[in-house]
Structure 1
């Protein structure tokens, strides 16, 4: 069954999509169950992805990357997440937030921080959410105060990929206190060996077990003043634009998971008998599979249309929210139906459908919960 075909994918993304599929088949899928079971960080697979030119390659060629665009990153995301979501997220988080530094940072920041990531010598991450605050970007409480020629950070960040493993992070912090709550935030480059930076892994998660998220504690964490990215007070607006791109790619996360659920359900019902008939012969089962395909194909068509819209800055926030909400919810629906079709065997964690079911609950939350996406869809269509 060929679900993630190239017919809907722009021609310039075909080659990287094929490379991603071959890599996923060789390195991700065969190791998915083991890493789900152990919850270990997949360093060896990350290094293989770096060597294959499929990690951190959205960075500019002048800095050592391949300058992959949004549609190419979406093509990679589909293939990686079809193989395993936890390992896939680890690979895609290796440069998460770097796009902000590339777009708004200066030449010195590019050379010191971006080039090592593009050349696969370092990994990075983005710290936005906090223990008590997630989707409310203008409600974060971590502060950054100027003290001479340094910025001093205090507060906590949560759900941060590579908080422990990363070499440096792009950190979103409150640097002002004006009446305009959206102009009070700035973005900073924070090395993870900076004094006052401490991080620990978040305890066991139900899904995405091969991806490590961390809890960061900033206690008078000092960084040089030149680690401010762009202009003070513009962090909220940087993130808003960054998340438009990210939400389209997260839609690809949902598409890969939905494809995995359909593949597993299709194979299972065509290889099992009940009541002296193959399960696939029951009309109710055929309708369930048809509904899964309808939802998947509809979401994929929307997601790829959204990729083009966002890439061309055509009402980007609206289309990004549509794609993210629709594709990630399609994954949930397909996984739930797949679980039902598997019957009692669906609850065994050794089965791929059980892992997909656990994993698909996560993308509906990250990169802005889907309730927030609905707010954006409504407000940006006025």
Structure 2
């Protein structure tokens, strides 16, 4: 079955989707189980993705990328995450944070930092979350203080993709302390990972998305030049809010890819496994379960592509982004859990794809803003 068909997506995204599908079949699917078991960073697959022009290609053409738009990136994302979420996350995090620089930064910053990422010579990352603060962007405590012609950064960041592997990060830090303007107290900075005072270590073994690496970062009087601020002082929250609207549409693609993988596995298994002298898909209860899985998936996918159009057009973007992120990621959890149930005892075998999908599906409901926070956004902006 082809759940991720082209009929619902804009024609301009068809070519990229086909490229992503072929790449996933050749490079991601065959290696997914191996990298899940080893927990190693998939450098070879990342390099293949860079050579294929499928990594960091939302970066505009003027800075070395293909300038893929939101619809094209969503189409690509569906295919990558259907093949394996851990490897897919590594491929997408390779340019994480670049958006802030090419949208709000200077030409000099784009030339020095963004172009090497687009050309596959470097990888980046985005450092926002902290050990005690996840979804409260206005509550982040890592500070950046001006000292002459430098900024001095102190604090910690947690769950940071590529914190160890990246060449540079976009770092969200507190530069003000105005209680009357809590959304204007933070700024964005480019921080090379070889800067003195920057220390990062991998977070210990995870149960899911093991091919993607996250880090705990410590800034101890980490000094960077004043020109490494992106945009202007106090604009960090605004930048992130816009960035997350696009990001949450992409995360809905994470959920759709995982949900499609779970349904594929459940469909194949129920049509092959026999109980009481017949394949279990012949039982009405199983048929109803599969029907529910398909219905929820199609509902989530329709919403995702509607939200993609709304966000691209700037039409109540925060509302649609929060809604599609919530629906798609929770659909992935629901259908993967049902898939586990259909697999019975075999579902807990590590070698089974459904067990990997089930574990991976638990992660996107948390990142890019936990779904409880998304519901707050949906209500407030309705």
| Post-superposition offset of 1:178 | 1.0
Please, what TM-score do these two structures have when normalized by structure 1? 0.99
User: In the alignment, which residue of structure 2 is the partner of 1:194?
Assistant: 195
Does 1:150 find its partner at 2:150?
Answer: yes
Correspondence 1:251 to 2:243 = no
Give the secondary-structure state (helix, strand or coil) at the position aligned to 1:151.
Answer: strand
Superimposed CA distance per residue, residues 325-379 of structure 1 (whole angstroms, 9 cap, x where no aligned partner): 0000000000000000000000011100000000000000000000000000000
1:73 aligns with 2:94: no
Residue 277 of structure 1 and its aligned partner are, at CA, apart by 1.0
What is aligned with 2:239? 238
Question: Using the alignment, how far apart are the partners of 1:60 and 1:303 within structure 2?
Answer: 24
In structure 2, distance between residues paired with 1:219 and 1:348: 44
CA RMSD of aligned residues (A): 0.4
Shift, 1:154, TM fit: 0.3
The yes-or-no answer on 1:361 pairing with 2:362 is: yes
**For the residues of structure 2 that align with 1:250 and 1:334, how far apart are their CA atoms?**
17
Find the aligned partners of 1:353 and 1:8 in 2 and give their Cα distance: 26
What do residues 176-195 of structure 1 show as CA deviations (whole Å, max 9, x unaligned)?
11121110000000000001
Counterpart CA distance in 1 for 2:342 and 2:36 is: 22
Distance in 1, matches of 2:49 and 2:9, equals 22
Q: Provide the C-alpha distance between the structure 2 equivalents of 1:62 and 1:278, rounded to a whole number of angstroms.
A: 56
Q: For 1:332, what is the secondary structure of its paired residue?
A: helix
Residue of structure 2 equivalent to 1:342: 343
State the Cα deviation string for residues 80-132 of structure 1 (Å, max 9, x = none).
00000000000000001101100000011010000100111000010000001
For 1:131, what is the secondary structure of its paired residue? coil
Instruction: Output the CA distance in 1 between the equivalents of 2:62 and 2:105.
Output: 15
- Indicate the SS of the match to 1:188: strand
**Counterpart check, 1:172 vs 2:172:** yes
The DSSP-based 3-state class of the residue aligned with 1:155 is: strand
| 1:278 corresponds to | 279
Distance 1:229 1:261 in 2: 41
Aligned to 2:8: 8
Deviation per residue, 1:209-246 (Å, 9 max, x gap): 00000000000000000000001001001000000000
Q: Does 1:289 align with 2:300?
A: no
Aligned twin of 1:218: 219
2: CA distance between counterparts of 1:8 and 1:154? 47
TM superposition score normalised by structure 2 = 0.99
Is residue 25 of structure 1 aligned with residue 45 of structure 2?
A: no
Question: Which runs of 5 or more residues in structure 2 are unaligned?
Answer: none
Q: What is the DSSP-based 3-state SS (H/G/I as helix, E as strand, rest coil) of the residue aligned with 1:170?
A: strand
Alignment of 1:94-133 (within 5 A): 94-133=94-133
* Counterparts of 2:335 and 2:174, CA distance in 1: 40
CA distance in structure 2 between the aligned counterparts of 1:222 and 1:73, rounded to whole angstroms: 35
Tell me the number of residue pairs that the alignment of Structure 1 and Structure 2 aligns.
Answer: 381
- Where 2:125 maps in the other structure, the secondary structure is strand
* 2:82 corresponds to: 82
Find the aligned partners of 1:93 and 1:351 in 2 and give their Cα distance.
26
SS of residue paired to 1:195: coil
- Runs of 4 or more consecutive aligned structure 1 residues displaced over 6 Å after TM superposition: none
Tell me the equivalent position of 1:183.
184
Aligned equivalents of 2:90, 2:312: Cα separation in 1: 24
Q: Distance in 1 between matches of 2:15 and 2:74?
A: 13
